Amino acid sequence: MADPVSPVSEPAARQKPVSLAEIALLFLKLGTTAFGGPAAHIAMMEDEFVRRRKWLTSQEFLDRLGASNLIHGPSSTELAIHIGFSQRGWPGLIVAGGCFIVPAAVLVSLIAAAYVRYGSLPRVEHILYAVKPVVIAVVAQAFWNLARSAVKSAWLGAIGVAGVVAYFLHTRELVLLAASGVAATAPALARARNTAAMLFLAPLATVASRPDAVPFGLTRLFLTFLKIGSVLFGSGYVLLAFLRSDFVDRLHWLTEQQLLDAVAVGQVTPGPVFTTATFIGYLVGGTRGAAVATVAIFLPAFVLVAASGPLIPRIRRSAIAEAFLDGVIVGSLALMGVVAWQLGRAAVVDLITVAILVVSAILLFRFRVNSAWLVLGAAVVGWAL
């Protein structure tokens, strides 16, 4: 009779503990070279840690990827934190996450400093002018790919449409996401048709007014990015909706153009998309603002990864919890789609930008070209202009 299968499949590398120095060097390398957004980051990590170094089995990697997608925050950064935690516990968690984030944060800060000083130079403006339509195409591709997986039923599609309407009615993002999650549980919870209808209309129930401009402060900057890092769910591109609502509409610390420029810089640089926060922090608060914004938006990811591990199996076993998460994801996509459209109106302004957008969309959707190459190509076109 065959021996019973061990409940945990241990990769061969587990017999030789991984050093913190090795973790640091590998994630510094990834943080410096990982262009192309979260999907590209995840592919590079799978190649590095499953295929080449065998730190994790394929199933262990998928389990950690699934856990990262079930909690709020930047999924590729959380996956890096999970991998570090799986190898060396808390020290590995901190080293892996920090080394993946720091290279991009430093590079974005340097670009922000140059932007503040030289942002009015024609060639800089032309580079951003050409890159912005590519950013819109990249966001559109991410939205399409995610929506195909997230909208699993007509009910979830209806929730997404309600989320779009709610956003245009100035409903706060947290209310919209929470109500979308509640609405998604209606098929399992509703005992009568009127209950389901009430849940469906919940995203429209709370409308927030837009206050006047708020004076800048590091504490408010920290709390705003801490809130975003704690509640944002879905793709890193959903971040745009929160940034626009908080920093353009409510606080009035950024213009629409500055937000687009921040997103463009986030696309040009390697590492987490969330380092867009570093750029914004520098614009509004200099070096201290960049540091405060970076720490604030990434801090929840470290806490959530450490705390969520034991809860993930329970969430997967609960139909109601799974439905709630499906609703939150659809609500996040509604935010993402609306903001892509709003930013597109500011980015696509003439025949040249229309042409860049169309060519980028074809290369992304038809030929699956890495978005980093498109951004760099558009930057060259802008420089030539």
Report helix angle 20-33 to 75-118, nearest 10: 50
Which residue, 182, 233, 189, is CA-closest to 203?
182
SS3 17: coil
* 353 Cβ contact partners less than 8 Å away, ≥ 6 residues apart: 129, 130, 132, 133, 347
Q: Is residue 2 part of a domain?
A: no
pLDDT at 190: 59
Q: Which residues of the chain fall short of a pLDDT of 70?
A: 1-16, 35-37, 39-40, 66, 69-70, 120-124, 188, 190-213, 233-237, 309-316, 372
pLDDT at 354: 95
Q: Residues 235, 238, 239, CA angle at the centre, nearest 5°?
A: 110
Q: Is residue 272 part of a domain?
A: yes
* Region for 62 from its dihedrals, namely left if φ exceeds 0, alpha if ψ lies in -120 to 50, beta otherwise: alpha
Domain count for the chain, please give it.
Answer: 1
* 70 Cβ contact partners less than 8 Å away, ≥ 6 residues apart: 308, 312, 315, 316, 325
Q: Is residue 345 part of a domain?
A: yes
pLDDT at 339: 75
Q: Is residue 252 part of a domain?
A: yes
pLDDT at 362: 95
> What pLDDT digit, counting tens, does each position of 13-36 carry?
445 688 999 999 999 988 887 765
* 271 Cβ contact partners less than 8 Å away, ≥ 6 residues apart: 30, 31, 32, 34, 100, 101, 103, 104, 105, 107
The CA-based dihedral angle spanning residues 367, 371, 377, 379, taken in that order and rounded to the nearest 10 degrees: 150
- Domain carrying residue 316: 12-122+130-384
Q: Is residue 6 part of a domain?
A: no
pLDDT at 337: 82
pLDDT at 282: 96
* Region for 137 from its dihedrals, namely left if φ exceeds 0, alpha if ψ lies in -120 to 50, beta otherwise: alpha
pLDDT at 103: 93
Q: Is residue 80 part of a domain?
A: yes
Q: Could you tell me the CA-to-CA distances from 300 to 131, 336, 343, 376 in Å, in that order? A: 30, 21, 27, 31
Token pair in block for residue 179? 């109500």
Predicted TM-score (pTM) of the model is: 0.69
Q: Is residue 241 part of a domain?
A: yes
Q: Could you tell me the CA-to-CA distances from 128 to 120, 141, 219, 312 in Å, in that order? A: 11, 20, 30, 41
Q: Dihedral sign for Cα 86, 65, 273, 33, please.
A: positive
Q: Is residue 7 part of a domain?
A: no
pLDDT at 210: 46
